[in-house]
Amino acid sequence: MTRRLKRPLYHPLKRLHTDSLLVLSVFVVASCGLAYELIAGALASYVLGDSVLQFSTIIGTYLFAMGIG
């Protein structure tokens, strides 16, 4: 006598909830990273001067970190 395995029922609302949670978490993390980048650039320009150079350095550092990450 063979035994049939029961498959879990597919529920579209559960998948929608999971996708929404993922999109929300990505949005929150991206927003925090952008805010942190702006704060770091402003702080560096206040402390070290020459805002164009400081913002360019901060943006370059962030892009470099995303590239290796």
Residue 59 lies in a domain: yes
Token pair 């400081």 in the structure block, residue: 54
Indicate yes or no: pTM above 0.75: no
Number of domains in the chain: 1
Predicted pLDDT at 46: 86
Q: Is the pLDDT of residue 62 over 70?
A: yes
Handedness of CA 48, 41, 66, 63 (dihedral sign): negative
Which range of residues forms the domain containing residue 48?
Answer: 27-68
pLDDT at 28: 95
Q: What is the pLDDT of residues 1-53, one digit of tens each?
A: 566 666 666 666 666 677 888 999 999 998 998 898 889 888 888 888 888 88
- For residue 51, CA distances in Å to 5, 32, 48, 63 come to 65, 21, 8, 18
4 lies in some domain: no
Query: In this structure, is residue 57 part of a structural domain?
Result: yes
